[in-house]
């Protein structure tokens, strides 16, 4: 991979196996959140650029679709190995543009790679069903075939993993792919595209268009696009779902979250505090599976708040690329200021600021840092509870009984992830039965499913039917065809105008 791809001052598109520079004149800034400095400009695609990318994907589709499964699998194996070989390069790009720590970026790449490993098994995953002798001399079988050109639109918080959630299965199934990454973190996708080329992926199978709403709107309306996968905030997910389905496309649009961790009085307080701090403040709270609310039942609240406060004091906030840092900056200055504003409004709305991150942030230079905050006595109906904050702010809601805690979680409009901390297996099982959330952890705070299950929330955290990656990903990127077949013995052939029935 040449240095120019990710260190260019102007970051471009990847179309038909190569970097494509176009001159829309519209660009956006790319920041290093740890320094607060602008490090590049990213080119924003025009309608013509998007047309070019979709045309490249469309042209590549017949050849890719006809490529044997074992050959597709071989390319994915090579891509997997190339990503592993280039892991530290990718990690550095992610950390520089997103701000997350090296350890966190390594975790992101590892969880993304899982999806490529899953997709390497595509020959087994695409096996259909076969019923012999459904009628005399008649067999029926089901095939799964690709859709054509499919699109991925991804958020800033996982610049490599979320694209891998999508394109690994999409291309393994025989589709060709156009990715529109977040304009805040445009470079990781270009490295992935270059590695895919090195792995032997034919030109046009994987394309990247950089840009904003103009590019997205064009993709959603494009007659040659068959399906759209989206991950991002709920308001945009809803618009994407409504627009793309109106245009006849298959859509899965994953939205935002407000993930609750229910802590029962019998929970181990130290273990629950360790889990809460890791899940609330990792990636500075910018994970869709971050814990943002603890619902503490009964007597556990006081010792838990104390234990979390003690742990927050030890978190090392600093630049992601500094190996000593445990928590990096937020993605932009505006987002840092927006998150800080919740600390202002929370106290005005009656909550207690147990730890104020505006005071405890080590803020080297002009980076977009904010320390970890803990807000106690938060109640539903306040801004701090109702909105997705997407920063290092953990709220504590106090309740007296399991039923009250469950009602709070089930009444929340989001339903991405949740967790229960308890030593009582029966209580955990009841929670798993009762809770209206798509991904549940039992003494596990960030229950992101492994790649051979599928990822997706409920309610306002997902618009569409199928979850992302894993078996549902394969289902999303294929359509089924059922063949009824008969190879008659000419000697038994006759005219029969009756409706076909089993004989």
Query: Shortest approach of ligand NAD to residue 195 CB, angstroms?
Result: 21
Write down the least CB distance from residue 306 to ligand NAD, Å. 29
What residues have CB less than 8 Å from 110, skipping those under 6 apart?
Answer: none
Scored b (16 or more CB within 10 A) or e, 8-32 reads beebbbbbbbebbebeeeebbebbb
Q: Which two tokens stand for residue 249?
A: 């496309």
Residue 157 interacting with ligand NAD (CB under 6 A): yes
Query: Which residue shows structure tokens 């800080």?
Result: 340
Which residue among 461, 464, 469, 478 contacts ligand NAD (CB under 6 A)?
Answer: 461
- Closest contact distance (angstroms) between CB of 330 and ligand NAD is 11
Cβ atoms of 239 and 255 within 8 Å: the answer is no
Residue placing its CB nearer to ligand NAD in the complex, 148 or 186 = 186
Applying CB under 6 A, which of residues 146, 232, 371, 464 lies at the interface with ligand NAD?
A: 232
Q: DSSP label at 184?
A: T
With CB under 6 A as the contact rule, the residue among 101, 182, 187, 478 that binds ligand NAD is 182
Distance of CA 38 to the CA centre of its chain: 26
User: Residue 184, CB half-sphere, CA atoms under 13 Å: how many?
Assistant: 18
Element (H, E) at 417: strand 417-421
Beta carbons of 472 and 466 less than 8 angstroms apart? yes
Member of 257, 272, 321, 372 binding ligand NAD (CB under 6 A) = 257
* Dist CA 191 CA 206 (whole Å): 12
CA distance 35 to 32: 6
For residues 113 to 152, the per-residue mask of contacts with ligand NAD, x marking binding by CB under 6 A and - elsewhere, is ----------------------------------------
Does 253 contact ligand NAD by CB under 6 A?
no
CB of 88 to ligand NAD, least distance (A): 23
User: 53 CB contacts (<8 Å, ≥6 apart)?
Assistant: 13, 15, 45, 178, 207, 208, 209
Identify the DSSP state of 477. Answer: T
Answer for the pair 171, 199: CB distance below 8 angstroms, yes or no: no
Q: What is the CA radius of gyration of the chain?
A: 25
- Residue 430 binds to ligand NAD (criterion: CB under 6 A): no
Q: Site for ligand NAD (CB under 6 A): which residue of 52, 216, 244, 378?
A: 216
CA atoms within 13 A on the CB side of 94: 29
Among 11, 83, 263, 288, binds ligand NAD (CB under 6 A): 288
Q: How far is the CB of 243 from ligand NAD (least distance, A)?
A: 9
H helix runs in 154-246, sequence order: 161-172, 187-198, 213-221, 234-246
CA 158/CA 181 separation, integer angstroms: 10
In the bound state with ligand NAD, the residue whose beta carbon lies nearer, of 112 and 146, is 112
Cβ 217 to ligand NAD shortest distance, Å: 6
- Residue 43 interacts with ligand NAD (CB under 6 A)? no
Q: Residue 42: which H helix or E strand, with range? A: strand 37-43
State which of positions 397-416 bind ligand NAD (CB under 6 A).
Answer: 416
The residue (of 247 and 360) whose beta carbon lies closer to ligand NAD is 247
Which of the following is catalytic: 120, 173, 218, 288? 288
Q: Which stretch binds ligand NAD (CB under 6 A): 255-263, 392-400, 401-409, 472-480?
A: 255-263
Which residue from 27, 67, 81, 233 is in contact with ligand NAD, where contact means CB under 6 A? 233
The H or E element containing residue 73 is: helix 69-85
Of 86 and 187, CB closest to ligand NAD: 187
| CB 392 to ligand NAD: min, Å | 14
Identify which range of 63-71, 88-96, 208-216, 300-308 contacts ligand NAD by CB under 6 A: 208-216
Q: Which of 32, 412, 45, 466 is nearest to 222 (CA)?
A: 45
* DSSP 8-state class, residue 172: H
Distance in Å, CB of 220 to ligand NAD, minimum: 8
Q: Is 218 a catalytic residue?
A: no
Query: Which residues, numbered 330-389, are part of the site for ligand NAD (CB under 6 A)?
Result: 388
231 touching ligand NAD, by CB under 6 A: yes
**Phi, psi of 490, rounded to the nearest 5 degrees:** -50, -30
Residue among 75 and 208 whose Cβ is closer to ligand NAD: 208
437 belongs to the binding site for ligand NAD (CB under 6 A): no
With CB under 6 A as the contact rule, the residue among 12, 86, 115, 154 that binds ligand NAD is: 154
Number of continuous H segments (helices) and E segments (strands) in the chain? 18, 23
Minimum distance from residue 255 beta carbon to ligand NAD (Å): 6
Exposed, middle or buried by CB within 10 Å (0-12, 13-18, 19+), for 343?
buried
Stretch that binds ligand NAD, among 87-95, 138-146, 212-220, 477-485 (CB under 6 A): 212-220
Cβ proximity to ligand NAD, 216 vs 291, nearer residue: 216
Cα–Cα dist 61/147, whole Å: 10
The pair of structure tokens assigned to 218 is 């064009």
Looking at the Cβ atoms of 144 and 336, the one nearer to ligand NAD is: 336
Q: Is 26 in the site for ligand NAD (CB under 6 A)?
A: no
First to last CA, the chain: 63
Positions marked catalytic:
288
Residues lying near ligand NAD in the complex (CB under 6 A) are found at: 153-158, 180, 182-183, 212-213, 216, 231-233, 236, 254-257, 288, 388, 390, 416, 457, 461
């Amino acid at each position: 991979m040449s240095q120019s791809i990710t260190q260019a001052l102007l970051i471009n598109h990847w179309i038909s196996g190569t970097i494509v520079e176009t001159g829309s004149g519209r660009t956006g800034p790319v920041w290093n959140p740890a320094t607060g400095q602008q490090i590049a400009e990213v080119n924003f695609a025009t309608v013509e650029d998007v047309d070019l990318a979709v045309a490249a994907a469309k042209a590549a589709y017949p050849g890719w679709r006809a490529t044997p499964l074992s050959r597709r699998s071989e390319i994915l194996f090579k891509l997997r190995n190339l990503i592993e070989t280039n892991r530290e390069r990718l990690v550095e790009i992610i950390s520089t543009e997103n701000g997350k720590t090296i350890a966190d970026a390594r975790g992101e790449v590892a969880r993304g790679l899982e999806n490529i490993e899953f997709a390497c098994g595509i020959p087994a995953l695409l096996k259909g069903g076969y019923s012999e002798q459904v009628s005399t001399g008649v067999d029926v079988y089901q095939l799964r075939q690709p859709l054509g050109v499919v699109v991925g639109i991804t958020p800033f918080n996982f610049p490599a993993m979320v694209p891998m959630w999508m394109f690994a299965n999409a291309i393994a199934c025989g589709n060709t792919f156009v990715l529109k990454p977040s304009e805040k973190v445009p470079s990781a996708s270009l490295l992935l595209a270059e590695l895919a080329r090195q792995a032997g992926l034919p030109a046009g199978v994987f394309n990247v268009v950089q840009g904003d709403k103009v590019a997205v709107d064009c993709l959603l309306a494009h007659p040659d696009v068959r399906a759209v996968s989206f991950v991002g905030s709920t308001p945009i997910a809803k618009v994407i779902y409504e627009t793309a389905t109106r245009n006849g496309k298959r859509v899965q649009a994953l939205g935002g979250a407000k993930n609750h961790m229910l802590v029962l009085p019998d929970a181990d307080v130290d273990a629950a505090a360790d889990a809460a701090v890791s899940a609330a403040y990792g990636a500075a709270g910018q994970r869709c599976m971050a814990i943002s609310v603890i619902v503490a039942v009964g007597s556990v609240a006081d010792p838990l708040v104390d234990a979390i406060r003690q742990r927050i004091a030890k978190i090392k906030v600093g630049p992601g690329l500094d190996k000593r840092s445990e928590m990096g900056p937020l993605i932009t200055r505006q987002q840092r200021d927006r998150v800080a504003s919740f600390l202002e409004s929370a106290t005005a709305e009656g909550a207690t600021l147990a730890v104020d991150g505006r005071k405890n942030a080590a803020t080297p230079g002009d980076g977009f840092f904010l320390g970890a905050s803990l807000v106690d006595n938060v109640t539903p109906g306040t801004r701090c509870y109702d909105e997705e904050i997407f920063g290092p702010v953990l709220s504590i809601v106090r309740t007296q009984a399991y039923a009250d805690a469950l009602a709070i979680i089930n009444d929340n409009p989001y339903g991405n992830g949740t967790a229960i901390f308890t030593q009582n297996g029966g209580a955990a099982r009841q929670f798993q039965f009762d809770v209206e959330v798509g991904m549940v952890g039992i003494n596990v705070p960030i229950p992101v499913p492994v790649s051979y299950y599928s990822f997706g929330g409920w309610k306002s955290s997902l618009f569409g039917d199928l979850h992302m990656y894993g078996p549902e990903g394969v289902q999303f990127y294929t359509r089924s065809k059922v063949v009824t077949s008969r190879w008659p013995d000419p000697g038994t052939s006759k005219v029969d105008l009756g409706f076909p029935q089993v004989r």
